[in-house]
Amino acid sequence: MKCDDIQLLLDEYLEGSLPAGDAARVKEHLKKCADCRDELQFLKKYMKKTETFPMLKAPDDFLEKIHRKIDAPERGTLIEKLFFPLKIKVPLEVAALLALAVTGLLLFKPFQPELTEYKAEKPGRQIAMEDKKLLQKETVASRSDSLAPVMGKNRVREKGIDPAADNKVAASRIEDMVASEKSVSEQLSKEKEKSSRGEQAEVTLYLKQNVLAGAEPAMDDSVQTRDQDRAEDSRTATRKSLDFAKKDKAVSEGAMQSAPSGTVSGQASIDNIASLARSLEGRIIKKTQGGNQVIVEIPRKNYSQFMKGLRGSWSVQRQYPAELSRKASKAEKVQFNINLQN
Amino acid sequence: MNRNSKTTTRPEQEDDALIRSFLSDNINAFDRLVIKYKDMVFNLCFRIVNDYDDANDCAQETFIKVYNSLKQFRFQSGFSTWLYRIAINTCRNRIASSGNRIRKKMLRIDNPGEQGSDPVEIHDCSFNPDSVFEKNEQTRIIHQAIDALPEELKILVVLRDLEGNSYEEIADITGVNLGTVKSRLARARHLLRESLREVI
């Protein structure tokens, strides 16, 4: 047995509680080992001293104080409850705070950049982007091609490819690259020019039907005056029947329809506006089926005529922008986003 | 110290009977348990925290914890072992939390009258181990040597050499396995032998 093993048993050896076999081994070792004998001597003296250690008595009011503490409500400041013992509670609280912060960051992501795309790319832009991607791909390809003769001359020779021909291919690729770059820049400049010139202006209208005029929507000035004359004629005459008036309007206004109550229904109104737009060389971009929205495109020259036509049957509640801007006035066409209100 | 007498003077059956009596709402049974173990717990606390007031607080806190959790006592281990375990944990918490408090006891007075003189430090003269062992210098030095041991070793030395618990009881109280208890105690004694070379 080694000294370390013997020293583990010395305590019990002294106490006499060691099994006989172990005690004999310890005794044998002690005969040979001076260091363990010293350890045993130290233990003997040390234990003799500790046996005479004074026993203290608890204070006389020990029990009373316990009673008082048990009866009293639990005290202690909030700070003591929160932070003591420091070594245990502070690290726990720091860990909890960090966990909260990490959770908050994961949930709200305050430092993440905005990834929302606000506007769809225009077709021209898309083409330009595609061209750019193609250009990048070709650049990579041409690089690898241009490196190929240097890196793998042997391979080229084995395949029997003429290096001069290879150079020609590379040159043609470079030409293509330059051409495609030019086309991209041209396209971009065209796009810029377009946007600066402003080919199309946009106006948003919120219209409310005139109750009186609703039955007699005006198409243009001539149509309107003609209608007015006829209405006057009809009033001065022996009050022709309502059916006749309807028939008359249908004939005079073509696609125009009127409701018997004097107001025009949603679908009919949209149709009226559409036919007005068509009569002024415009086109319908979109109209909601049975709804109250229609988008039409009118040549710029017919802008005021179209507005006049609309105002005959509708009162304009809101208009954005109120007037065409200088830039928009140069536009060839004006797009009207028309919303009908009941 | 009292190594063999402990088990004969504290029969566990008596403790169990007192606990059962307390659980059936007899508050006097708890008082009898306190009276029976207060000196033992107080001494244990004093030897670990090495301060009279802290020892008093720890001992009282131990009994309050016992009072509050006696309903959870399962009678699987001896009451004294359970009590030791609570007392030692209470002392450990106290040692962990009293670092600043002990430093506060060192009053620092700057004397503005004498410029350049060192500030005078006055130790708070509350009840301390030195006054307990003043009659026996050798005992005081041994106590200081034990107190200077690392906390884990000090607790083992107190339980074994001063409180007289068996290795098995120590393993049960501290939750450390038997072999580790023995090797740690051997290491603690080796350290003590080094520090007490001139005394013993």
Task: Give the residue from B42, B60, B194 with the most A CB atoms within 10 Å of its CB, the best one to mutate.
Answer: B60
* Residue B6 forms contact with A (CB below 8 Å): no
Q: How far apart are the CA of B97 and the nearest CA of chain A, in angstroms? A: 5
Please tell me which residue, A56 or A119, carries the higher pLDDT value. A56
Does residue B168 carry a pLDDT above 80?
yes
**Which of A86 and B190 is assigned the larger pLDDT?**
B190
Q: What pLDDT, on a 0 to 100 scale, did the predictor assign at position A302?
A: 86
Neighbour tally for A269: CB within 10 Å: 23
A8, B35: Cβ pair inside 8 Å? no
Q: pLDDT by residue (tens digit) across B70-95? A: 888 888 888 889 999 999 999 998 88
pLDDT at A309: 87
Nearest CA distance, B156 vs chain A (angstrom): 13
Interface of A with B in 64-83 (CB under 8 A): 65-66, 69-70
Q: What's the mean per-residue pLDDT of chain B?
A: 80
Residue A137 has a pLDDT of 61
- Residue in A closest to B186 by C-alpha: A8
Q: Does B162 touch chain A (CB under 8 A)?
A: yes
Q: Give residue A2's pLDDT band: very low, low, confident or very high (50, 70, 90).
A: confident
Instruction: Give the contacts of A25 (CB within 8 A, at least 6 positions apart).
Output: A1, A6
Question: How many Å lie between the alpha carbon of B190 and the closest alpha carbon of chain A?
Answer: 8
- Specify the pLDDT at position B36: 92
Distances (CA, A) of B84 to A34, B31, B89, B145, B155: 38, 18, 9, 23, 11
Q: Report chain A's mean pLDDT, rounded to a whole number.
A: 71
Candidates A45, A55, A57; nearest CB to B200: A45
Chain segment B114-166, per-residue pLDDT in tens? 444 444 444 444 455 556 665 577 888 888 899 999 999 999 999 999 988 89
Does A187 score more than 90 pLDDT? Answer: no
**Residue A238 pLDDT level (bands cut at 50, 70, 90):** very low
Shortest Cα distance, chain A CAs vs residue B60, angstroms: 6
Which has more confidence, B113 or B185?
B185
- Give the lowest-confidence range in A48-52, A109-113, A240-244: A240-244
The tens digit of pLDDT for each residue in B50-72 reads 888 889 999 999 999 999 988 88
Residues of A in contact with B162 (CB under 8 A): 50, 53
Convert the pLDDT of each residue in A246-263 to its tens digit. 444 443 444 344 334 444
Query: For every residue of chain B, which 3-state class applies, written as one string?
Result: CCCCHHHHHCCHHHHHHHHHHHHCCCHHHHHHHHHHHHHHHHHHHHHHHCCHHHHHHHHHHHHHHHHHHHHHCCCCCCHHHHHHHHHHHHHHHHHHHCHHHHHHCEEEECCCCCCCCCCEEEECCCCCHHHHCCCCHHHHHHHHHHHCCCHHHHHHHHHHHHCCCCHHHHHHHHCCCHHHHHHHHHHHHHHHHHHCCCCC
What is residue B133's predicted lDDT score, i.e. its pLDDT?
60
- In the predicted structure, residue A160 carries a pLDDT above the cut 60: no
- Band (pLDDT 50/70/90 cuts) for residue B99 is low
Q: Is the pLDDT of residue A1 over 90?
A: no
Question: Contact A54/B200, CB-based, under 8 Å?
Answer: no
- Residue A52 sits at φ, ψ, to 5 deg, of -95, 10
What is the bridge-based pairing of β-strands A314-320 and A283-287? unpaired
The residue-averaged pLDDT of B100-111 equals 48
E strand spans, A105-175: none
| Residue B115 pLDDT | 45
Calculate what percentage of chain B has a pLDDT beyond 90. Answer: 42
Quick check: B96 and A47 CB within 8 A?
no
B60 touches chain A (CB under 8 A): yes
**Residue A193: left (phi > 0), alpha (psi -120 to 50), or beta?**
alpha
The predicted structure's pLDDT at residue B107: 44
Q: What are A43-83's pLDDT values in tens digits? A: 888 888 888 888 888 998 999 999 988 887 665 667 777 77
Is B59 touching A (CB cutoff 8 A)?
Answer: yes
Q: What is the ipTM score, two decimals? A: 0.76
Residues A166-172, mean pLDDT to the nearest whole number: 70
pLDDT given for residue A148 in this prediction: 46
Nearest to A49 among B31, B43, B138 (CB): B138
Instruction: Tell whether B27 is within 8 A of chain A (Cβ).
Output: no
Q: How far apart are CA A282 and CA A298, in angstroms?
A: 4
Q: Is the pTM of this model over 0.90?
A: no
pLDDT of residue A312: 84
Residue A288: predicted pLDDT = 76
Subunit contact A53:B139, Cβ cutoff 8 A: yes
Most confident option among B2-6, B20-24, B131-135: B20-24
